[in-house]
């Protein structure tokens, strides 16, 4: 019993020490939690500031973006909305529906009209009835017409310039100065003022131009230059 009584003070010191260690541990833990909380709050505040800044910049960009398309409506032709939900746009060198080839864009129309009406329609679309300046263009138009029709003809920008005057393109340039792909050479001795040129996609692209009355109703090919990214 006396021995036990002697050990009581020691036991109390140990208990006090353990209690002190527990208190210090709890205090350290609390300090760590406070530091972690402060760091988290600081980071959150920084992230919120960055988010507000990015949101503000995005709003300014969106305003500039919509202002650009409202001031230059022609851009809608080259950058149509591809996603109605996000209003995302995809831009190309040719307007929607037009096919690029070389430095030009071509539009094949299945609507039928006479040559004059076709020229007017192409002009309202910012172009003209298609001209053929190179063999590559001829091959492209011939193949495209073949894929879209079953032997139907398409107006080209070919028109007789009058009696014995030869043929010219819709822009006034002489056909004789470039490559020609007539099925047979037009009769230059007759008065052909009412004749225009058509593309009929047969078996040979080299012999696919034909003469036709300008008043006939045919399908058409319009052309315009590609947009410049400069």
Q: Which tens digits make up the pLDDT trace of 37-51?
A: 777 777 778 788 887
The DSSP secondary-structure symbol of 100 reads E
Nearest to 127, CA basis, from 146, 153, 99, 151: 99
Class of domain 99-225: alpha beta
Q: Are the C-beta atoms of 127 and 141 separated by less than 8 Å? A: no
Mean pLDDT, the chain, rounded, equals 81
Q: Tell me what pLDDT residue 39 has.
A: 72
What is the dihedral sign for C-alpha 220, 75, 172, 141? negative
Q: pLDDT (tens digit, 9 = 90+) per residue, 14-29? A: 555 556 656 666 667 7
Rounded to whole angstroms, the Cα distance separating 148 from 107 reads: 12
Per-residue pLDDT at 76 exceeds 60 = yes
Nearest to 102, CA basis, from 230, 229, 223: 223
**What residues does each domain of the chain span?**
1-71, 99-225
């Amino acid at each position: 019993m006396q021995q036990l009584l002697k050990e009581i003070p020691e036991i109390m010191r140990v208990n006090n020490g353990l209690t002190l260690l527990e208190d210090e541990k709890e205090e350290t833990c609390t300090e760590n939690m406070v530091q972690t909380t402060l760091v988290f709050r600081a980071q959150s505040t920084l992230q919120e500031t960055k988010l507000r800044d990015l949101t503000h910049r995005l709003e300014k960009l969106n305003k500039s973006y919509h202002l650009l398309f409202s001031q230059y409506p022609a851009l809608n032709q080259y950058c149509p909305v591809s996603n109605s939900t996000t209003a995302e746009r995809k831009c190309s060198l040719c307007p929607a529906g037009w096919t690029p080839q070389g430095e030009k864009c071509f539009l094949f129309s299945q609507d039928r009209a006479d040559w004059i009406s076709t020229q007017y329609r192409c002009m309202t679309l910012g172009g003209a009835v298609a001209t053929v300046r190179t063999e590559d263009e001829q091959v492209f138009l011939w193949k495209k017409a073949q894929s879209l029709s079953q032997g139907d003809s398409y107006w080209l920008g070919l028109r007789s310039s009058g009696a014995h005057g030869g043929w010219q393109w819709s822009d006034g340039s002489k056909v004789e100065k470039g490559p020609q792909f007539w099925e047979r050479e037009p009769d230059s001795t007759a008065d052909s003022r009412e004749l225009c040129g058509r593309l009929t996609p047969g078996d040979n692209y080299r012999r696919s131009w034909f003469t036709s009355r300008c008043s006939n109703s045919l399908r058409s090919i319009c052309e315009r230059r590609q947009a410049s990214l400069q």
